[in-house]
Amino acid sequence: MEQRLGGVLAGGALGFALAVTIASLATGRPLEIVENLIWVYTSPAPLVNTVLLSVPIAMAAIGLSLSYRARFITIGAEGQIVLGSVAALWATAYSGLEGSAALALALLLPALSGALYALIPFLLRAYAGASEVLTSLMLNLVAVYVTNYLIATYLREGAFVMTRIVPPELRAEWYLGLVMIVAAALSAHLLLTRTRWGLAIEVYGRAPKAAETYGYSARQVMLLVSLLSGGLAGLGGAVAMLSFQHSLTPMSFPPGYGYAGALVAWLSSNNPLAALFASLFFSSLMVFGRSLQAVGVPLSYALAAQALIVLFTLIAVARERQWQ
């Protein structure tokens, strides 16, 4: 853990240096870029944005870290997040419910839809032997296009292709997400280290044959991690909807929180507590990348800078792993 953190910091610093250099070259105003960087990490507004963006990423990463520990390599968090946000939108803006009933439904329904959607790759793997990597990846696209269809038809509101908006009184404060990801990371940590389910995940992931021989069912383990990671991702999508998205417009490709979550899970060695911090780091990068646009860096440069930082962090972490 400690060395891993060192690697993340070293790689991140190197990546930042390179990103700042590139952005400076692009604009010819290095001072403003550095000022911008400091602003992102010290001012309330961008910090709140960092927290908001980190919620779907962290929820996905925490669930995926459980999944990957059981060597169930799903990348379906993306689609589960999308469905979760649709479910939360429906519960608050379409269901006709109000107040706490609407809020409760807006958390319950997304968790349920994420978990149910995660059942599909599980069933295909457990009973048909299909690789969860491929099925979950394809299902992400299915989720996106089904959502686009819903936006254009049943959820459509007014002349433009867009949905209703989450009513202001049902929107979540920024700290709700923070509370939720801290709680999720702690619960996942406790599950792994203090319960029979966690033991089953650890044993099955490291030695499937030993797990089966001594009475742990492969299907039960896969089912467990599927439901948990799906439910968490769905909740992440719900909180994103309630706290900053507020409505949906058609997507040409998935928003990327789930993929970022998979990356973060890897970056943090599938440790849920580490995933919490890695998610915050990751979303701060996104905020920094976007803020560069304000000082005149083209969006594509900003995205490239962001990717460079991630890339260097990954290289640093991979090197440390090799030496261990």
Using CB under 8 A as the binding rule, whether residue 216 contacts another protein is answered as yes
When binding is defined by CB under 8 A, the residue of 161, 202, 247, 295 that contacts another protein is 202
Using CB under 8 A as the binding rule, whether residue 131 contacts another protein is answered as no
Distance CA 65, CA 69 (A): 6
Length of the chain counted residue by residue:
324
Q: Nearest distance from residue 195's CB to another protein, in Å?
A: 6
Q: Nearest distance from residue 194's CB to another protein, in Å?
A: 5
Q: How many residues bind another protein (CB under 8 A)?
A: 20
CB-wise, 143 or 274, nearer to another protein? 274
CB-wise, 207 or 294, nearer to another protein? 207
Q: Which stretch binds another protein (CB under 8 A): 197-205, 227-235, 236-244, 300-308?
A: 197-205
Distance CA 58, CA 235 (A): 11
Distance CA 176, CA 43 (A): 20
CB-wise, 39 or 216, nearer to another protein? 216
**Quick one: tokens of 24?**
């400076």
Using CB under 8 A as the binding rule, whether residue 219 contacts another protein is answered as no
Using CB under 8 A as the binding rule, whether residue 212 contacts another protein is answered as yes
Dihedral (C-alpha) 257, 263, 264, 268: value to the nearest 10 degrees?
170
Distance CA 310, CA 284 (A): 11
- C-alpha separations of 324 from 47, 64, 154, 202 in Å: 34, 23, 54, 20
Q: Which stretch binds another protein (CB under 8 A): 26-34, 50-58, 210-218, 294-302?
A: 210-218
Distance CA 51, CA 221 (A): 32
Q: Nearest distance from residue 255's CB to another protein, in Å?
A: 34
**Cβ-defined contacts of 135-138 (< 8 Å, 24+):** 135/76, 136/74, 136/75, 136/76, 136/79, 137/75, 137/76
Q: Nearest distance from residue 215's CB to another protein, in Å?
A: 3
CB-wise, 27 or 187, nearer to another protein? 187
When binding is defined by CB under 8 A, the residue of 119, 142, 176, 203 that contacts another protein is 203
Dihedral (C-alpha) 40, 44, 47, 49: value to the nearest 10 degrees?
-110
When binding is defined by CB under 8 A, the residue of 45, 210, 294, 299 that contacts another protein is 210
Q: Using an 8 Å Cβ cutoff, are 268 and 115 in contact?
A: no
Using CB under 8 A as the binding rule, whether residue 321 contacts another protein is answered as no
Using CB under 8 A as the binding rule, whether residue 195 contacts another protein is answered as yes
Using CB under 8 A as the binding rule, whether residue 133 contacts another protein is answered as no
Using CB under 8 A as the binding rule, whether residue 129 contacts another protein is answered as no
Nearest residue to 26 (alpha-carbon basis) of 289, 281, 286:
289
Using CB under 8 A as the binding rule, whether residue 323 contacts another protein is answered as no
Binding residues (CB under 8 A) for another protein: these are: 193-199, 202-203, 206-207, 209-217
